[in-house]
């Protein structure tokens, strides 16, 4: 099927995979989305549910993806196809790979627009274009920024070009090299921002907001949003982690690396909260102000603080770097597939992908101005891309991969690849067979909006359902004989 007989590239450094995968995971999702979602869904209780979702669904699915990538030695389509054949199953499973690759690509085509906002705001910070004295002023600056297709298009094209430049350079000298300075740089900037927040007067309030558990603020919608966000923030089911996993050396432990990446991603999200909320509270701004939170409230707050411009610049540099280390991971699956199967050089694969990306992302960008009226079923193109990927393709892909690992693949290969103790292996299997699928089906059903079920109120039923599924699943599991593990 493919002609990749030569050994696959591997990360150069010991930390190559962890840095690149953390770079992928840490992005706009952590610094832009997580804080505003926490603000909207009421703080500590949301944070707790999010942490549970990361552990119960995110970690097992991420382990599965890395396993598929490393053992299948390729981009999602090739790796999943090979894994299925290795277990004597139909190569049609590789449809999961096609979906993941497409999903990463589609995410990128709207992600570059949001990342473009970050670059545009960095420029505004540098050039003093963010002068205004009220939230309304900031809202009109935000609106004006989106209203001009030429400048908005230029910023998102810049992100697309930067992404393709890095990816075109290769796994080691492009991706690995860039993340190895951007990631530490980002963390240093975040720590400086937290340090500043600690003295800005709103730190105590921010701590309470993020970590005080108040069960009353826990809505069913918040729980579902937490689950969906766990997928997005860990870059799952979009080809990114799977393809990065295909460059992971054999001797690295999949479980340990996964836990490191998930922990780092979670810490950065919490740190972003600790950097942003003190500023919001100290300036009497509204934490639940939605997607515009960091673009409208923060610049206002930065103006009121001593050295605010400097911190504002730091903040938007950090956000732009976080976005870039994520965007490069979204096309790696496509670029890797093209170079492995179509005989293209990396550079041509990257630029070819870039041109298609540019066309789609331009359509997405136009949703904010000239194309605001071009809607289908009430959503414009940008919202469709977001909906199709985060609400449908990611949960479906994650479900498929979890079930594939849980029920379809040869158990001896899984055991060999993960190299876990029997108890830890059993726990992972239980997660990918029952816990993760149930969790995913719950978000999925909610996203479709066909039923009006309040899952938060009915959680004991979910526990019962999990128990019943486990019992049935273990009794009726298709008679997969244990292959001798020599
Ligand atoms: N995890 C990234 C973020 O939090 C988004 C992402 C999704 C990256 C899918 C790669 C693939 O911003």
Please state the φ and ψ torsions of residue 342, each to the nearest 5 degrees. -110, 10
- What single DSSP character describes residue 93? G
Q: What is the C-alpha separation between 206 and 362, in angstroms, rounded? A: 38
- Residue 7 forms part of a structural domain: no
Contacts of residue 459, Cβ cutoff 8 Å, sequence gap at least 6 = none
- Find out whether the beta carbon of 30 lies less than 6 Å from any atom of ligand 1: yes
Number of Cβ within 10 Å of residue 149's Cβ equals: 15
Residue nearest to ligand 1 atom 10, measured at CA = 235
Q: What is the pLDDT of residue 286?
A: 78
Mutate to test the pocket of ligand 1, among 30, 183, 240 (most ligand atoms within 8 A of CB): 240
- Residue 4 forms part of a structural domain: no
Tell me the CA distances in angstroms from 324 to 295, 310, 319, 371, 388, one per residue in order.
Answer: 18, 21, 9, 26, 22
Q: What is the pLDDT of residue 447?
A: 60
What's the number of domains the chain is made of?
1
Name the pTM for this structure: 0.88
Q: In this structure, are residues 453 and 445 in contact, taking their beta carbons and an 8 Å threshold?
A: yes
Q: What is the pLDDT of residue 1?
A: 44
Range of the domain at 336: 14-479
pLDDT in tens, 291-310: 777 887 778 777 777 777 88
Tell me the CA distances in angstroms from 250 to 3, 174, 369, one per residue in order.
Answer: 21, 22, 49
- Find out whether the beta carbon of 107 lies less than 6 Å from any atom of ligand 1: yes
Say how far residue 238 (Cα) sits from the centre of its chain: 9
- Residue 140 forms part of a structural domain: yes
- Find out whether the beta carbon of 330 lies less than 6 Å from any atom of ligand 1: yes
- Residue 443 forms part of a structural domain: yes
Q: What is the pLDDT of residue 25?
A: 94
Which ligand 1 atom sits nearest the alpha carbon of residue 25? 1
* 370 CA from centroid of ligand 1 (Å): 27
- What single DSSP character describes residue 291? G
- Residue 473 forms part of a structural domain: yes
- Find out whether the beta carbon of 104 lies less than 6 Å from any atom of ligand 1: yes
pLDDT in tens, 313-356: 888 888 898 899 999 999 999 999 999 999 889 899 999 999 99
- Residue 3 forms part of a structural domain: no
Q: Which helix (H) or strand (E) holds 144?
A: helix 135-147
User: What stretches in the chain show pLDDT beneath 50?
Assistant: 1-4, 480-486
CATH of the domain at 184: 1.20.1740.10
* 235 CA from centroid of ligand 1 (Å): 4
Q: What is the pLDDT of residue 434?
A: 92
Q: What is the pLDDT of residue 452?
A: 66
Q: In this structure, are residues 272 and 31 in contact, taking their beta carbons and an 8 Å threshold?
A: yes
- Residue 484 forms part of a structural domain: no
Please state the φ and ψ torsions of residue 422, each to the nearest 5 degrees. -55, -40
Q: In this structure, are residues 413 and 71 in contact, taking their beta carbons and an 8 Å threshold?
A: yes
- Residue 446 forms part of a structural domain: yes
Q: What is the C-alpha separation between 238 and 390, in angstroms, rounded? A: 10
The pairing of strands 375-376 and 379-380 is antiparallel
Q: What is the C-alpha separation between 132 and 137, in angstroms, rounded? A: 5
């Amino acid at each position: 099927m493919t002609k990749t007989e030569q050994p696959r590239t591997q990360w150069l450094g010991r930390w190559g995979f962890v840095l690149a995968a953390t770079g992928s995971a840490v992005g706009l999702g952590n610094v832009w989305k997580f804080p505003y979602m926490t603000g909207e869904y009421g703080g500590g209780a949301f944070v707790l549910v999010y942490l549970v979702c990361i552990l119960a669904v995110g970690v097992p699915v991420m382990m599965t993806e890395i396993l598929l990538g490393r053992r299948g030695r390729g981009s999602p389509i090739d790796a999943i196809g090979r894994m299925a054949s290795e277990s004597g199953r139909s190569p049609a499973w590789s449809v999961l790979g096609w979906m993941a690759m497409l999903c990463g690509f589609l995410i990128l085509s709207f992600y570059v627009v949001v990342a473009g906002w970050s670059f545009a705001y960095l420029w505004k910070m540098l050039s003093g274009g963010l002068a205004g004295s009220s939230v309304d002023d900031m809202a009109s600056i935000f609106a004006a920024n989106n209203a001009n297709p030429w400048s908005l298009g230029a910023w998102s094209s810049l992100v697309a070009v930067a992404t393709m430049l890095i990816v075109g350079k290769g796994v080691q000298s492009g991706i690995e090299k860039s993340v190895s300075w951007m990631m530490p740089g980002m963390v240093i900037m975040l720590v400086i921002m937290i340090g500043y927040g600690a003295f800005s007067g709103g730190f105590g309030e921010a701590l309470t907001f993020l970590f005080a558990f108040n069960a009353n603020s826990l809505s069913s919608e918040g729980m579902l949003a937490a689950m969906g966000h766990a997928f997005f923030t860990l870059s799952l089911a979009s080809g990114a982690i799977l393809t990065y996993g295909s460059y992971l050396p054999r001797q690295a432990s999949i479980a340990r690396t996964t836990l490191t990446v998930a922990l780092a991603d979670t810490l950065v999200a919490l740190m972003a909260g600790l950097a942003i909320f003190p500023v919001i509270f100290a300036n009497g701004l509204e934490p639940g102000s939605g997607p515009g939170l960091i673009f409208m409230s923060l610049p206002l707050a930065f103006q009121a603080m001593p050295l605010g411009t400097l911190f504002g610049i730091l903040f938007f540099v950090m956000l732009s770097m976080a976005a870039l280390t994520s965007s490069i991971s979204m096309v790696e699956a496509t670029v890797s597939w093209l170079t492995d199967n179509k005989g293209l050089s990396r550079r041509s694969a990257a630029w070819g992908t870039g041109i298609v990306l540019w066309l789609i992302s331009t359509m997405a960008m136009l949703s904010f101005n000239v194309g605001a009226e071009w809607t289908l079923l009430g959503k414009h193109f940008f919202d469709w891309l977001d909906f199709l990927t985060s609400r449908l393709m990611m949960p479906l892909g994650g479900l498929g991969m979890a079930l594939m690992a849980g029920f379809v693949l040869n158990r001896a290969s899984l055991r060999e690849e993960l190299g876990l103790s029997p108890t830890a292996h059993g726990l992972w299997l239980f997660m990918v067979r029952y816990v993760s699928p149930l969790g995913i089906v719950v978000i999925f059903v909610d996203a479709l909006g066909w039923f009006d079920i309040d899952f938060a109120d009915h959680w004991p039923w979910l526990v019962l359902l999990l128990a019943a599924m486990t019992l049935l699943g273990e009794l009726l599991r298709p008679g997969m004989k244990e292959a001798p593990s020599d």
